[in-house]
Amino acid sequence: NSSLYTSPDGNLFFEWEDIASLALTKDQGGNFISVYLSQQGIFHIISNGEKVSSFNSTTQNTPNAFSLSDLKRDGNNYIAINSSSDIVTYNFNGSIGENFPASFENEFIGSVNPISIDFEGDGNSEIISVSFNGDIFAVDGGTGKLIPGFPISIGDTIAASPSIFNYDGKTSIILANNSGSLKAWTIGSIEGDISWKEQYADNQNSSFMPPAEITNSINEFFPTNRAYNYPNPVYDGETFIRYYVAEDSKINIKIFDLAGDYVAELNDDAQGGMDNETSWDVTDIQSGVYFARIEATSNSGKTEQAIIKIAVVK
């Protein structure tokens, strides 16, 4: 609930929050977008001096660093963070990237930010993170699955953030461990398309990510195959009802039980061109199967709907 202020010298700041990390990118219209992470673990997205969105990281540990990556080639850059045993990604309205988080049991992924590059040549950037034990993990940005051949062990805990680079037409990674060794590996057979090569993006420490490319565009206003909830079944707490809209829209969700009786209604605003999520608190909901009718109405007047099934188990 922090408020965005402009100081007399023109600087923007948030009341009650201290900065942990910053990054800059551009949207498809060429407008600059600032991504601000506070030490309290809250992300703020700012464009043209206005706060576009704010959201808390949904991780066990409070992140203190992040990177940006063109994961999906859908016209949106994504935030990537390491937390506990997970690599987590978010779009700029706080929805978790599709097929994420990527989880690695019994591993503790380091607190340094991930780096990213498309070294497989499939158009989706891979995310690379290093655990405290010195294991290098690489996951596919599209599927969230571990890339074959990983993890790679560096033989000790890491001493600094890794860096990726292209050499002799191939993708390589280099890092130092706490045994005093500097090690490098060739991880790709092609010259990779780099999104975020090191801790602060590039050799100039710019923390800047160019606009995302659009090769996987969605032409439908409200594709029903992108409407679902997770987790499903829901065992406690809350579930997230997820949907995509091509235009800024109002969302109305009505939830019914199997007998057709009304259970709950949710309303939300959805940002066009990306996945959005609405939380449903099931704390006081009995076990059973429920139907959620999701209706999207765009600012231009388009209306479409989808029905999904939600299982609650207690």
Angstrom distance (rounded) from CA 307 to CA 292: 6
The sheet carrying 274-281 orders its strands as 228-230, 238-245, 274-281
Domain boundaries, the chain: 4-209, 224-312
Q: What is the pLDDT at residue 106? A: 76
**What global pTM score does this model have?**
0.89
Residues 244/226, Cβ–Cβ less than 8 Å: yes
Task: Tell me which DSSP letter residue 224 carries.
Answer: G
Tens-of-pLDDT digits for all 314 residues of the chain? 455 555 555 566 566 678 899 999 999 999 999 999 999 899 999 998 788 899 998 787 888 899 999 999 999 999 999 988 899 999 999 999 999 999 998 787 776 789 999 999 988 899 999 998 889 999 999 999 999 999 999 989 888 889 999 999 999 999 998 999 999 999 999 999 999 999 999 999 999 999 999 988 888 999 999 999 999 999 989 999 999 999 999 999 999 999 999 999 999 999 999 999 999 999 999 999 999 999 999 999 999 999 999 999 99
Residue 225 has phi, psi (to 5 degrees) of: -75, -5
Q: Which amino acid is at 115?
A: I
Which of helix, strand or coil describes residue 226?
helix
Q: Is the alpha carbon torsion for 97, 99, 103, 104 positive or negative? A: negative
Distance of CA 290 to the CA centre of its chain: 28
Q: What is the pLDDT at residue 1? A: 42
Q: Domain 224-312 class?
A: mainly beta
Angstrom distance (rounded) from CA 79 to CA 51: 17
Residues 229/161, Cβ–Cβ less than 8 Å: no
Nearest to 24 by CA among 282, 281, 196: 196
CATH superfamily of 4-209: YVTN repeat-like/Quinoprotein amine dehydrogenase (2.130.10.10)
How is residue 166 written in tokens?
Answer: 């292209």
